Amino acid sequence: MIFSTPIFIFLFLPCILAVYYISPSKLKNTSLFLASLVFYAWGEPVYVSIMLFSTVFDYMNGLSIEKFKSQNKYNKAKLVLIISIVGNLAILFFFKYSNFLISNINQLTTLNLTPLDLKLPIGISFYTFQTMSYTIDVYRGEVKAQRNIIDFGTFVSLFPQLVAGPIVRYKTIAEQLKHRVSSINKFSEGVQRFIIGMAKKVLLANNIGMLWEQISNSDLTIASAWLGAICFSLQIYFDFSGYSDMAIGLGKMFGFDFLENFNLPYISKSITEFWRRWHISLGTWFKEYVYIPLGGSREGKKKLIINMLIVWALTGLWHGANWNFVFWGMYFGILLILEKLVFLKWLKRLPNFVQHFYTLFLVVVSWVIFAIDDTSKLKIYLQTMFGLGNVPLIDNQTIYLFCTNIFLIIICIVASTRLQTIINTKLMNFRHEGLIYTVKNICYITIFIVSICFLIGASYNPFLYFRF
């Protein structure tokens, strides 16, 4: 089940909200935990057992680590931490990477291993990282072990952010699991945020995504290859940030405050800034639990380069079990290393529009690497973008696609800028608060109705991060 479906919006969500708000305070986490299991089991009833195992496994590990540390048995606490990390990664590797490994063994050897008949459990990359961060933080002494398994299960399975994040670390919501405030204003904020996220997904991502699909499956020209790359760049932003907005909005409806996951990444003036604004929760996770423990930048340039390449190879692999994701991760790793060690200080001296162009050019190219998992097709697409080979600059089909979608493209580009923030600031300073409140509500209702109309009539409603 995904958020941008009528069955979720008109059946599942109203039912769970009703059950949640009529439940006594002591049973709210229980109702939310059970609802999350139903949400997950809706599409994958078998794999809910994997989530339950991870919940019990790391619940026990957290208690054991805290117990051994209180007894000054630090070696045993460290051993339990290692068991937790290895166990979590083993589950993730088995379901997500075993067939990738088998495929590569078959290509490199004379063996003919049979791929495993496995489906990727939805959200496994997200909840695996969440449970790992919990045991690591307990070992570090940053949080106390959770003694209520229902509360811990609620953290692991929390359906608003289960499928596609943001990656919620236990220490950011530990207090909220026990004490969170629900109010009409907070619920209203959540509804508004959910509507904005749904509009991003249904009205923008889906429609610009159809243009990308059409271009990527047709004969390419240089112009159409760039148009397609720009369309996919916009699709993945509105798809993922829209889903994150819906998750944050749903969290507010249940009294939670999740951290932001996107902060207008396409206004960035460097790749370094881009990754401070894109998928913030993932970048923070890798920084705190991989990059800094490896030594970060504290041990000289050589170690820094090695650490960054490791982090970005893992970042690429986290996104998917295919070589294009590794290439994508290393692409960004190399760019970030070059910026950090060579030319970031020089880049900042250039005019803003040059910095923006530099960043967006490299980001758009990166999304082509991300989008196409067939290496031969990827090579052809990149060659076409840069005019390598006997390909035309433009044709009538490209002109037609551009002209018929020009308003959609402009809307998507404008929506990825600061314009919405500027408008909200202006409205907040407007004297007639009652009028603004009424107009805003009318706008939200209109956006909701239009989104539902598009959703009901849509035959194209993918979610790109579902495979991660």
For the stretch 147-193, pLDDT in tens is 999 999 999 988 888 776 688 888 888 889 888 888 898 999 999 99
For the stretch 227-280, pLDDT in tens is 999 999 999 999 999 999 999 999 999 999 998 899 999 999 999 999 999 999
Q: What is the pLDDT of residue 314?
A: 94
Whether 355 has a pLDDT exceeding 90, the answer reads: yes
Is there a catalytic annotation at residue 319? Answer: yes
For the residues 110-133, what does the mean pLDDT come to?
85
Whether residue 162 contacts residue 124, with contact meaning beta carbons closer than 8 Å, is answered with no
* 46 pLDDT tier (thresholds 50, 70, 90): confident
For the residues 455-465, what does the mean pLDDT come to?
67
Q: What is the pLDDT of residue 203?
A: 92
pLDDT above 70 as % of the chain:
94
For the stretch 281-305, pLDDT in tens is 999 999 999 999 998 878 888 889 9
In angstroms, rounded to a whole number, what is the distance separating the alpha carbons of residues 314 and 371?
A: 18
Q: What is the pTM of this model?
A: 0.91
Residue in 279, 319, 356, 432 annotated catalytic: 319
In angstroms, rounded to a whole number, what is the distance separating the alpha carbons of residues 4 and 237?
A: 16
Q: Give the HSE-up count for residue 295: Cα atoms under 13 Å, Cβ half-sphere.
A: 13
Tokens (6 digits) for 160: 């608003």
CA 200 vs CA 4, 209, 320, 460: distances in Å: 10, 12, 24, 14
For the stretch 70-97, pLDDT in tens is 999 989 999 999 999 999 999 999 989 9
Q: What is the pLDDT of residue 182?
A: 84
In angstroms, rounded to a whole number, what is the distance separating the alpha carbons of residues 405 and 295?
A: 48
- Other CB atoms within a 10 A radius of the CB of residue 431 amount to 6
Residues 6+ apart with CB under 8 A from 187: 252, 253
Q: What is the pLDDT of residue 461?
A: 62
Q: What is the pLDDT of residue 167?
A: 86
